[in-house]
Amino acid sequence: MTRTWAPVPADSGFGLANLPYGVFAPPGEPPRCGVRIGDHVLDLAAALGDDGFAAPSLNAFLARGRTAWTQTRNRIVDLLTDTSHEPRLTPHLYPVGDVVLQMPFGVADYVDFYASEHHAGNIGRMFRPDAAPLLPNWKHLPVGYHGRAGTVVVSGTPVVRPCGQRKAPSAAAPTFGPSAKLDVEVEVGFVVGASSELGRPVPVSRFAEHVFGVVLVNDWSARDIQAWEYVPLGPFLGKSFATTVSPWVVPLDALAAARVPRPPQDPAPLEYLAEEAWALDLDLALEVNGQVLSRPPYTRMYWSPAQMLAHMTVNGASLRTGDLYASGTVSGPEREQRGSLIELTWNGTEPLTLEDGSTRTFLADGDTVTISGTAPTADGGRISLGEVTGRVEPAVDG
């Protein structure tokens, strides 16, 4: 690939092949949109002379659609490779360590799927040991639920341990108090740019027309609250207190080399979900207090992002700019590939010992959780998806 005049460290995952978008605030200045190159952020409104990027949200840009997204990316590559632009643009490059990264887009609706067969299978084995691990619908449709858009927060936002109702199976009645089973879910989120018309499903073939890019997601989950409330209508307060996303939206244009084939789905899905099976070759890592606990592989996901999108709209539900849908917990077949503590500790029955000698079943107050990820490039390198991090703060009440 062509070289950039901008400073990019040798092993940076943020070279020209990546160019993710975010919202940043320089010290004492209002937030605006930028693109990351190396360890710097380029102010896009200034660089492109485009006021659409002066807002503290990518939504105006996301709404423009695929042609504009690709043109903008090409223009940014031109600006960063043609040295004639260096004198004018250098004042608009900010060290990433000097700026505050904010929520990159306004979330319209938030949906969370359940697309990993290994995750769904593990949960099934834990909670329904005498039945088949997967429920009868699982291989016929991407199971999902609508989450809470207003509590999707950017990486670095503290997460207060939620309080709620819990009831142990042996207890006669529920009690109220701080969750004792606060967990994480390693997920990948898909950011919708171009909207769709109410009443018109979006077919799998039009995925790239509507989806702009991806973020990393931590779907914080209070397992004890969830276990008591979820029947019959699904996740509610055990999930809605916080969902954290990474600050950089990596465009699909940067992930072309990450698209990999998957074995055909069996049974073959219904016609509206039919496509050649594929996944994204994203290597994810889950860390607690700096220690890697697992490395979930996105290549093993059963349902593709295009199938999730098609399913989400097949009833005619329309898409809005800023819609976010997440994959569900990413888990592979191996123990060290499980993307949640409930799986890693088998619902608390197999505690983990951390390097400091302490043990965990679920998260303790003060724990810092970080999810990171990388994807391959066409030339054999890897780009970074950045990271999504959050520290657990003690419950406010209870």
Q: Which of 43, 183, 185, 323 binds Ca ion (CB under 5 A)?
A: 185
User: Considering the complex, what minimum distance in angstroms separates the CB of residue 326 from Ca ion?
Assistant: 6
Q: What is the C-alpha separation between 309 and 142, in angstroms, rounded?
A: 9
Output 4 or 389, the one with its CB closest to Ca ion: 389
Strand pairing report for 359-360 and 152-154? unpaired
For Ca ion, the binding residues in 43-102 under the rule CB under 5 A are none
Output 109 or 185, the one with its CB closest to Ca ion: 185
User: Considering the complex, what minimum distance in angstroms separates the CB of residue 77 from Ca ion?
Assistant: 35
Task: Provide the mask over 207-226, with x wherever binding to Ca ion is found by CB under 5 A and - wherever it is not.
Answer: ------------x-------
User: Considering the complex, what minimum distance in angstroms separates the CB of residue 311 from Ca ion?
Assistant: 16
Contacting range for Ca ion; rule: CB under 5 A; set: 45-53, 57-65, 104-112, 301-309: 104-112
Q: What angle do CA 361, 167, 125 make, to 5 degrees?
A: 55
Output 17 or 385, the one with its CB closest to Ca ion: 385
311 is catalytic: no
Burial of 375 (0-12, 13-18, 19+ CB in 10 A): buried
User: Considering the complex, what minimum distance in angstroms separates the CB of residue 70 from Ca ion?
Assistant: 31
By the rule CB under 5 A, 112 interacts with Ca ion: yes
Contacting range for Ca ion; rule: CB under 5 A; set: 20-28, 137-145, 183-191, 378-386: 183-191
By the 8 A CB rule, do 80 and 5 touch?
A: yes
Which tokens belong to 17? 């092949």
Contacting range for Ca ion; rule: CB under 5 A; set: 74-82, 110-118, 139-147, 261-269: 110-118
Candidates 85, 92, 118, 119; catalytic one:
119
Which tokens belong to 221? 């989950």
Output 258 or 326, the one with its CB closest to Ca ion: 326
User: Considering the complex, what minimum distance in angstroms separates the CB of residue 114 from Ca ion?
Assistant: 7
Q: What is the C-alpha separation between 240 and 221, in angstroms, rounded?
A: 8
Q: What is the C-alpha separation between 382 and 317, in angstroms, rounded?
A: 36
What residues are paired with 378 via a beta bridge? Answer: none
Burial pattern 48-65, b for ≥16 Cβ within 10 A else e, equals: beeebbebbbbbbbbbbb
Q: What is the C-alpha separation between 219 and 112, in angstroms, rounded?
A: 9
> Does an H or E element contain 121, and which?
helix 117-127
Catalytic residues: 119
- Residues of the shown chain interacting with Ca ion in the complex, contacts defined by CB under 5 A: 112, 185, 219
